[in-house]
Chains A and B, each alone.
Chain A
Amino acid sequence: MGQKKPTGFVMVIGAGIAGIQTALSLADAGYGVHLVERSAALGGMIPDLHRIYPLCACCKLDPRIAACEQNPNINVLLDTSVDDISGKIGNFRIALTTGEEKKELQAGAVIFAAGIETFQPANLDYYAYGSASNVVTSVEFEQSQKPLGPNGGMLKRPSDGKTPAKIAWLQCVGSRDINRGDASYCSTVCCMHALKEAVNAKAVNADIETTIFFIDMRTHGKGYENYLNTALEKGVQLVRSKVHTINPVPETGDVLMSYADEQGHMQEAVFDMVVLSVGLRPSAQAIELARKIGIRVDADNYVGTEPFQPVSTSTAGIFVCGGVCGPHDIAHSLTQANAAVAQVAAFLDPQPFAPALNYAAVPAEAQTSPGILLAYQLCPGMHPEIGRLVESAAADLPAVTDVCRLDGDIRGGLCEKLAQCAAGRVVFASCTALMHKDSVEAALRLSGRNPFMYETVDLKLLGGEPAPATLTERLRVGVMRAELLSPPAVREIPVVKHALVVGGGVAGMESARALSAAGCPVTLVEKEKVLGGHGRHVRATWQGLDAQAYLQELIRSVEQDDNITVLTETGVKHNRGYAGNFVTTVENNGRTQEIRHAVTILACGGDDRSVDEYLYGQNDRVYLWSELESKLVSDPAAVENAGSAVFIQCVGSREKDCPHCSNLCCSFTVRTAVDLKTKNPDMKIFVVYREMRTFGLRENIYLEARQKGVVFIRYEVENKPRIAPAADGSGLVVTVFDPILDRPVSLDADFVSLQTAIRPTHNAELAEIFHVDLDADGFFAPSPEKLKPVDTTAGGVFMAGLAAYPKDTGDAIAEARAAAGRALEILKQDTVQIGGQVAEVMPEKCAVCCTCVRTCPFYVPFIDHDRGAAYIDPALCQGCGMCVAECPGKAIVMPSCSDRMLTQMPAALLEGV
């Protein structure tokens, strides 16, 4: 693939979730990885958390840690700190200290994944942290929520062990606060964190009163707004306020909170306990190291990055991801981790420590003995009684020859057990069994079993309470299904070293460029005549950099790239196949062609919606924001010379018909306001908003805007601003109810910019073609396996850009490169193993009647005259089973859903009625 590049190992510094993901992805792509962790264990901060939005994912980290430990291409160095890095890109020398021992390792690239620390509020006496025992940090509170934690999952307040009836969360502790908290930025994650803690507290006991004291509720991420709405439905209360002091009530141990409400009136309230939502800080040691080796560190003390190179540091060959380069949530950290992988692949060819951990080809005579191993895993949230019930149910099922409980490392545990027993099949029972598919399959492969000889049983429904009858019946059916499994043939299919990118906007082009740089040929399909997508309407990044110059350079480089075939005015018609071997039909002006490719990246974009409110379309002084941006690009003077402007946020957004938050509109508005004020300080600018969501370092420009005199006025969705032409016809008047003044105010505006919701443009159509799911907001749904933010629900199909969720240019670039990074994990393989859910013709039974040829919805079967029988390419078979059902001679089989199973299940199921 591509021209000669240097080869080398990669050093990953920090083994939090981002570091672990980076190491695993790099190892999958063939690199030998040194994974350095300062502490004694892998995992970083995640093990302290109870749940990760949106679902319980506590058991997702352990398998990853285990995978790191077992992967021969990952050299895990615990208790190790990095002393110095010298050399240059392609050939770095890293000085390390493990305990007392000093050593030096070499690597072609370095990834800084050293994570975060949380703000320590002890110095701020007005929070009473340290002095009042019932004031705790959010991290401490969450630890106490863990079922395996000190309280066994029961909420207790520290002072007297009493179950709290009223809990308050105080937001922005150590964030958005220069005076006392020494950080001006927003820590991004705390709003969701507090909501999650409150919701989980209510899940334990719905009667607990939960109140969150906040400035702005920042639920700007994918699915977050929905989570907020659900939390409100569940009774979580929000109080917009500024907290003045927190004081213990000596006699009771309760906590008195004094705060100013939105109108500035002082209020008091007493709570059983108070949780301080503490902000994030980069790892101090990592920043110290960064400074030492000359990596640029920004004003907020994070490793500095540029929006167009979101995971690059100031030193070539050293990349960064996760909390060390900004306050990021887990999804974004993982996205950056994958992007860093793509960046490494662009200049460095892999040098492995050992041949990749290739699963031995499954022998034809793979062990598929009828004995069944029932392996179960109990989530920390589950009642321990369930374990006992599983064991006793298993004792009544004669087909079950072995039972084991797995903790943490599912793959390792299963391998160990399978090595000791003769079972050929596995029934895996767990809270969300589907999530562990990969681990179960891997364990079967590694143990010389057929990797598809397993069934899963979901214990989730059983929740915390044991329900013996349901549990027993579920296990019985699961075991029966496993008994009825027929081993499918497993085949090696060569990986087509080609990628398809759908969408020629910023995300699509960045993905294509990253893949090409890693040596992979790409076909980039764009519906319109020209490349650029929504990016053509973007003037500047939130940091203020020229987005158009960047875009033009990007388009030029993509068009000149010999490795990238750009097809404009081209639509996608049809797709079939599997990760590693897809066939997609595209159409250009009535001409169709087929593209074979291993992976697909869906970057089909989005647009700001049009609305029929606020005089839009009736008055030419009212712009959609994309129109305002275009005008700022083409004719800036017209806008800059205006005397006054009003920006209205959340237009047609965060409302019933379009409930999601569009993420970047607040940052756009403050950026534009700041730039206009800089050009024309006399311009009066008003921002009319519902929540200012300038999350992360974007908070700094919000601050700058206020300092420059931009006026921010909040409104309630029930009482929207009104807009009318000025009486003298000179402009517009916007009337809005100001909650601080507690009365309506009228604002003159020479123009009004409406920040409307960003919605996906082609997702519905493409979701159908590429067999991926959409989420409730119409964006591509993430993989159910969780913690794979750029994976869609279909293997080998990734997403990036506005089609995944609204985001700004920098984040879109990171996501695009992450999608490329994930794609490269497949592209770097030579073969993929296909099996499982495919149909197979048994030639001796085939009457060559053509029934399958005619009935396959995907035109896969054909009559192979050399075999004298029909043939179904397993790499193309979609596994619907239509031909199996239609074949009059019963010559087509589908081991994963066999006739044996379907004809014997009824009897076995009816037994239970």
Chain B
Amino acid sequence: MSEFKSGSNLEKVLRAGHFAFTGECGPPTGANVEALKKKAAYLKGMVDAVNITDNQTAVVRMPSWAASLIVMQEGVEPNFQMVCRDRNRLAAQSDVLGIYAHGIRNMLCLSGDHQKFGNHPDAKNVYDIDSMQLIHTVKTMRDEGKFLNGQDIDVPPKIFIGAASNPFAEPFEYRVHRLAKKIAAGADFVQTQCIYNMDRFREFMKQAVDMGLHEKCYILPGVTPMKSVGMALYMSRSVPGMDVPEDLIKRLRGAGKGKVAEEGIRFALEQIEEFKEMEGVAGVHLMAIEWEHRVPEIAERAGMLPRPSV
């Protein structure tokens, strides 16, 4: 077996052929370390790594790198997220060096939500480089030991490079190609947008497998349990690129009062069961947004426990 690219827990789990299970945690909108630690505690031992979001939805929060360090101290492996909206290429490369220096080994490269709908819509965005270029930059830094300008890096950062993919955004037929492009640019693993439309995801995965993308990269579909009918409707109507089938909404409605959340979790569990069997799927990325305390239960019921130790 060849050398690990980063040696992160996530990389090891995946490389060992285990069905990976990652979680997600949003940093506080303040310096509330305790709250963060509390969230981390729910996740500890339940997942292989936790995505730490980067000013998600363009709302100012504790920085991703700082929160990553805190959860790491709590014994949880972070998956540091970085968006291109807020950094130019100088800051981006600098931050990569910084997180690596502090022991962070996973990084998810994103374009970032536009600031227009965040809490600072008057901000000027950066977008010096895009997510694709960020992936390529980190790869170049790691594998070639060079900055974007070609200058050598003293100690190159060994990062397990992640990318995002939205299998449902339009134009649909281009999505798998764009995934291929990200993999070519240097993505080691891919986490997708939350999946609800299983039919279309199956089709997407089939295309990916046909193109052999699963052999070049670990693909982790995203799962977000629906907490309520309102959430389902909001996701369906207001979140760009989200595909929530009408059947699912009906199913949640049919669950009856007080039982919708349970129905949402059941659907998530069914999804996870299917992903386990689906060709090319290497794990699941569980985005239990502001529902971290339910992760242990979901992990348990999904048969994900205990997490392998590698």
The short answer to whether A and B are in direct contact, CB under 8 Å, is no
Binding site for B on A (CB under 8 A): none
